């Protein structure tokens, strides 16, 4: 029987993960089955126990269970602990191992797919929720020149930055109305695009030739991407991050890294 994996979420019907992992399995000749698993909002732990009992080898975790998954794992990777959230679980040897490939997926998309280095860059990170937290350590590891975290609720940005101090990369926090200066890479990690809104980022924040990336994706560019494009920035949605986080999860489970270009192009053409 194929090794079984799934993505657990609520809702989960929209998830592209089964399609992405099926493409990776076909490409690498790995015999896996990957499904969607809808967990009741109050039943994530029970769902997890049931998957382990059925012999599943691992699972991805999506909204709204990533934080709960980090509390149920018996072991956490450093990056999952830093993120306070888990998007990838591995089951085996009586352990539930939690990892977080979202941040590394974003870094891979920026470096490999967009062809933009993060080293020595001025980064503006918009948002200070779970998604922003998961991005911080992978960004810091790339040795950018600085990271400014701006958030609607200023205090949340301050506490996020405080929890990542001491890594040798200058970090600062502010409210949206305090954003000053120009940035090489601007990442919208708020959930504002879900409401067809955008953070009130000043036009001057986009340095000439900057990259503006929204971690959300949809059939049309987000308001943030449209605004950034009007300022001359190169824009990118979160589809590449989605594919790259999946590739990183696949590599953790199967011990080999799939190529991502074909599936990313296919998903883009389907949009
Ligand atoms: P996620 O896991 O997607 O990060 P979250 O932890 O609820 O979800 O965080 C949502 C983030 O988007 C927060 O930074 C939130 O700002 P607040 O801390 O002020 O709540 C931000 N956000 C949500 N809607 C927004 C909007 N319409 N404009 C700007 N920021 C928004």
Could you tell me the two tokens for 61?
């975790």
Distance in angstroms (rounded) separating the CA atoms of residues 110 and 254: 24
Same domain flag for 8 and 69: yes
Q: What is the pLDDT of residue 43?
A: 98
Does residue 218 line the site of ligand 1, with CB under 6 A? Answer: no
Are 153 and 231 within one domain?
yes
Distance CA 242, CA 237 (A): 10
Question: Block means of pLDDT (10 residues each) for the chain, length 271 residues?
Answer: 96 97 98 98 98 98 96 97 96 97 98 98 97 96 98 98 96 98 98 93 97 96 98 98 98 98 94 67
Tell me, yes or no, whether 255 and 226 share the same domain.
no
Measured distance CA(72)–CA(49) in Å, rounded: 10
What CATH number should be reported for the domain holding residue 195? 3.40.50.720
- Ligand 1, atom 16, lies closest to the CA of 152
Query: Do 140 and 28 fall into the same domain?
Result: no
Phi, psi of 98 (to 5 degrees): -105, 135
Q: Are residues 254 and 170 in the same domain?
A: no
Shared domain check, 71 and 19: yes
Tell me the Cα Rg of the chain. Answer: 18
Residues 89 and 123 in one domain: no
Total count of domains within the chain: 2
CB 199 less than 6 A from any atom of ligand 1: yes
User: Ligand 1: does its nearest atom lie under 6 Å from the Cβ of 128?
Assistant: yes
Copy the structure tokens of residue 140: 């810091």
Residues 6+ apart with CB under 8 A from 139: 103, 107, 118, 123, 125, 147
Question: For residue 62, what is the domain's CATH number?
Answer: 3.40.50.10860
* 57, 66, 112, 271: the active-site residue: 66
In this structure, the dihedral spanned by the alpha carbons of residues 102, 211, 222 and 147, taken in order and rounded to 10 degrees, is 60
In whole angstroms, give the CA distance from residue 214 to residue 14.
Answer: 19
Q: What is the pLDDT of residue 271?
A: 67
Q: Do the bridges between strand 146-151 and strand 122-126 make them parallel or antiparallel, or are there none, so unpaired?
A: parallel
Do 198 and 149 share a domain, yes or no?
yes
CA of 191 to the centre of ligand 1 (A): 5
Nearest CA to ligand 1 atom 29: 199
CA torsion, points 200, 201, 204, 208, in degrees to nearest 10? -140
What's the pLDDT score for residue 97?
98
Taking the centre of ligand 1 as the mean of its atom positions, its distance from the CA of residue 34, in whole angstroms, is 30
227 and 259 belong to one structural domain: no
Q: Examine the domain organization and report whether 66 and 129 are in the same domain.
A: no
Residues 25 and 149 in one domain: no
Residue 32's pLDDT is 98
Residue numbers of the domain that contains 229: 103-237
Please say whether the beta carbons of 176 and 157 come within 8 A. Answer: no
Residue 251: CB atoms within 10 A of its CB come to 15
Q: Could you tell me if 107 and 233 lie in one domain?
A: yes
Does the Cβ of 159 fall within 6 Å of ligand 1? no
């Amino acid at each position: 029987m194929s090794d079984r994996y799934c993505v657990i979420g609520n809702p989960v019907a929209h998830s592209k993960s089964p399609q992405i992992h099926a493409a990776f399995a076909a490409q690498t000749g790995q015999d896996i089955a990957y499904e969607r698993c809808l967990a009741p909002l109050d039943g994530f732990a029970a769902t997890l126990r049931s998957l382990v009992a059925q012999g599943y080898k691992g699972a991805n975790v999506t909204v709204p269970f990533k934080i709960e998954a980090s509390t149920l794992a018996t072991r956490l990777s450093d990056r999952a602990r830093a993120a306070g959230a888990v998007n990838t679980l591995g089951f085996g040897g009586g352990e539930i191992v939690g990892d977080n490939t979202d941040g590394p997926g974003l870094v891979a998309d920026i470096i490999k797919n967009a062809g933009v280095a993060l080293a020595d860059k001025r980064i503006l990170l918009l948002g200070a929720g779970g998604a922003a937290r998961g991005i911080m350590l992978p960004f810091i590891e790339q040795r950018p020149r600085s990271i400014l975290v701006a958030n609607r609720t200023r205090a949340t940005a301050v506490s996020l930055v405080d929890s990542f101090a001491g890594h040798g990369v200058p970090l600062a926090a502010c409210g949206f109305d305090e954003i000053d200066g120009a940035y090489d890479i601007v990442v919208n990690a708020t959930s504002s695009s879900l409401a067809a809104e955008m953070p009130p980022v000043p036009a001057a924040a986009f340095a000439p030739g900057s990259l503006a990336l929204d971690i959300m994706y949809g059939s049309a560019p987000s308001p943030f991407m449209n605004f950034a494009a009007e300022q001359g920035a190169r824009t990118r949605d979160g589809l590449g991050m989605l594919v790259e986080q999946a590739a990183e999860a696949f590599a953790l489970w199967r011990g080999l890294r799939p190529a991502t270009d074909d599936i990313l192009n296919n998903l883009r053409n389907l949009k």
